Amino acid sequence: MYKLVAIDIDDTLLTDDHRITEGTKEALKRASERGVLVTLATGRMHASAKDIAAQLGMNVPLISYQGALVRNLQDDSILYERNLSRPIAESIFAYAAEHGLHLQAYYDDQLIVPVDNDKVRAYAKLSAIPYTVDPDFAKYAALPMTKLLIIDEPDVLDEHIPVLKQQLGAEAHITKSKPNFLEFMHPEGTKGNALRFLAEHHCGCTLAETIGIGDSWNDLDLVELAGLGVAMGNAVDPLKLVADIVTLTNNEEGVRHIVETYILQA
């Protein structure tokens, strides 16, 4: 029944110690051998997602940057791309500077920051990607931004979210991938929109024939739109509320359980 499976990476596919279990790898391999398109749907950069895909032997289009980019692994061609508009990027840059917030910019699959600090070092370590420090940071607001990210304590971000949503309106998609990661994309740069694109233009299937698996706020429209929307056992409560199924946690092979139950045993 299911022809496309889109899986979040952090706290979903990966365990807390950042591993993909051998059982999960085997289940995903068997699903692919049955003709199911198994892909990743992550907030990470494409370069970072490629490293995870390599561990799974994937050679498919990947959804990265929360859905703002779908890029083919076979020839690196871009299938779907939605960048923030220049006025919106400039507004976010100005807001972050005014309030002393740590802002990260993503341009041409590169991570750029104005200063080297603990926040970007921890982020780069988690994502296993390099970054560029450029004191002339403001110039990047004029370039096509795939994503912008503010890192701070959850309560600090929660104070700024209502203000930013009012300021940016419908011209930006604002979400959290982790409690301390506040992310900004084009309104159509979401995992759900990318899933719809892959279903229609790559798989030739309906959304009813898709599975979306995630754990966080940025997975909401992925899980809502998929034919089978799955929240991990460790997912945030808002995601569990919209999911069709709540599976096991990321440390209990929740992804493997869903693939075996709904694809391999179907």
CB 223 within 8 A of CB 231: yes
Closest CA to 73 of 98, 53, 97: 53
134: annotated active-site residue: no
Ramachandran category for residue 72: left, alpha or beta (phi over 0 → left; psi -120 to 50 → alpha): beta
Active centre residues (catalytic): 8
